[in-house]
Amino acid sequence: MMAHTSIPGADDITRVELANGIVVLARENPNSKAVTVRGSLLAGGLLDPDDKLGLADFTASMLMRGTAQRDFQAIYDSLESIGASFGFNSGTHTTGFGGRSLAEDFGLLLQLGREALLSPVFPEAHVEKVRAQLLTGLSLRAQDTRDMASLLFDEMVYEGHPYARADEGHPHTIAPITRQDLVDFHEHNFGPRGMLIVVVGGISAAEAVEQVRAAFEDWQNPQQPAQVQLPPWQPLAQRAYRRLDIAGKSQSDLIIGTGGPLRKNPEYMAASLGNNILGRFGMMGRVGDSVREKAGLAYYAYSSLGGGLGPDPWLLEAGVNPSNEEQATDLIFKEIERFTSELVSEDELSDSQSNYIGSMPLSLESNGGVADALMSLERFGLGLDYYRKFPDEVRAVTREDVLAAAARYLKTDEMAIAVAGPPRGEVA
């Protein structure tokens, strides 16, 4: 077996599927006294009804507010007594959870997780407290030009597709959600099939698996629905533009882009390296250099590539003075056109490859970093030896591969332009 400090691989990752369908991944770190747990289950925003968007997120926010075994205060007293943490979050596809404790307290951490997942009671008083917090967050979102540009972008690029919907919902969809809606969502959608639990830290892999087995293998839910299958997504037939006026603002935020490759797509690595060159590396890549540094048109300018289970976006973002919206947009499109018609330089690709290869081990230095990495291995079907093979995969990408991926996905006549900022002519 390779030394523990090496990159995780098939020889030091234990993968077990429990009788009820839960997949457990475990990796020991004998140099740590702590244990990190990460997990997910198939109960995300895709299951929200249109008139109650945000239901999955609301439900996740309630799981630690009281269970059949402990009330809100007792849950947090239990965590505090051992210096541990545990919490939930919700996304489009899944509800996620995670926590950390000393290895000797891992059993209690799992017990608290089991209680929150299997037997939350959704106390009415806490329902209203959480609703108020969610509505406050949505009110803040409505005044955030960056967040609102993102909503506009999703509505345009993913029209008719589930990705057009906001996972956190809207005030008019959060307000009518009842306690019974939360109870029903949990009862019908939370279950072990498709669930993933990752344990990394100062506990043997065998013991970690057995503790997870003891906590969760008896969980059954015959009502649990099959995994949601995303419908096909089609790019825009032509370039689209929308602008949202938000009074009292001094900055405009603009987003330009379209859907990108799935994480499991063979072209993903070439697209990712290309995106690093386009708008991530150094001072935000070519776009940052052109729009921000040289032209002085933006407070920030960069690109990002999603890469998930569906057609996550490949986009370019900039924060600009409202008077610079059109100039910045034109300059960004010029950079996209150059990127999709000319080979990147040998130095650009070599620097980006070195950046990826050098930063990957750093991301795996903590138990949490390893746990997140193992989650990705399983979620995207990358294989247990993916990180051992990662440098070779990165080095194998050619300039021609980057150009092909860019040309395939970044078609300028299929892109959305979303802008949120002060009304035209308004001086904040």
Q: Would you say 52 and 169 are in contact if contact means Cβ atoms under 8 Å apart?
A: yes
Task: Tell me the average pLDDT of the chain.
Answer: 96
Do 259 and 186 belong to one domain?
A: no
Say whether both 350 and 414 belong to one domain: yes
47 and 183 co-located in one domain:
yes
Q: Which of 190, 219, 253 is the last residue of a domain?
A: 190
How are the residues of the chain apportioned to helix, strand and coil, as percentages rounded to the nearest 5?
45, 20, 35
Q: Exposure string (b/e) for 94-108, b if CB count within 10 Å is 16 or more?
A: bbbbbbbbbbebbeb
Residues 306 and 157 in one domain: no
Closest CA to 219 of 244, 200, 192: 192
pLDDT at 252 over 70: yes
Other CB atoms within a 10 A radius of the CB of residue 302 amount to 21
> CB neighbours of 80 closer than 8 A, spacing ≥ 6?
none
Question: Which CATH number do you get for residue 141?
Answer: 3.30.830.10
- Tell me if 22 is assigned to some domain: no
CA 46 to chain centre: 14
- CB-based contact 364:372 (threshold 8 Å): no
Give the tens place of pLDDT for each residue, 145-158.
999 999 999 999 99
Whether residues 345 and 267 fall in one domain: yes
Query: With 70 as the cut, is the pLDDT of residue 28 above it?
Result: yes
How many CB atoms within 10 Å of residue 402? Answer: 27
pLDDT number for residue 39: 98
The full length of the chain comes to 428
Q: Model-level pTM? A: 0.94
Classify residue 34: in a domain, yes or no.
no
Q: Is 13 helix (H, G, I), strand (E, B) or coil?
A: coil
Burial class (CB in 10 A: 0-12, 13-18, 19+), 296: exposed
In this structure, the answer to whether residues 147 and 283 fall within a common structural domain is: no
Question: According to the model, what pLDDT value does residue 5 have?
Answer: 55
Does one domain contain both 266 and 353? Answer: yes
Q: Are residues 173 and 71 in the same domain?
A: yes
Q: Does residue 201 form part of some domain?
A: no
In a domain, 257, yes or no: yes
202-214 in b/e form (b: 16+ CB < 10 A) is: bbebeebbebbbe
Number of domains, the chain: 2
Q: How confident is the model at residue 282 (pLDDT cuts 50, 70, 90)?
A: confident
Distance CA 318, CA 426 (A): 20
269 and 152 co-located in one domain = no
In order of 70, 88, 98, 100, the CA distances from 77 in angstroms are 10, 17, 18, 15
Answer whether residue 68 is part of any domain. Answer: yes
Query: What is the mean predicted confidence (pLDDT) over 417-421?
Result: 98
Yes or no: say if 361 and 419 are a contact pair by the CB < 8 Å rule: no
Name the residue with tokens 């929200």.
Answer: 48
Of 154, 170, 190, at which residue does a domain stop?
Answer: 190
Residue 32, in any domain of the structure:
no
Angle at 38 (CA atoms; ends 35, 39), nearest 5 degrees: 145
Q: Would residue 225 count as lying in a domain?
A: no
In the predicted model, is pLDDT for residue 326 greater than 50? Answer: yes
- Please report the pLDDT score of residue 425 as a whole number: 73
From 190, 207, 231, give the residue that closes a domain: 190
Range of the domain at 249: 240-421
161 and 247, same structural domain? no
**3, part of any domain:** no
Q: For residues 168 and 273, state if they share a domain.
A: no
Residue 357 has pLDDT above 90, yes or no: yes
Query: pLDDT by residue (tens digit) across 39-55?
Result: 999 999 999 999 999 99
Buried b (16+ CB within 10 A) or exposed e, 272-285: bbbbbbbbbbeebb
| Same domain assignment for residues 394 and 282 | yes
Q: What is the pLDDT of residue 284?
A: 86
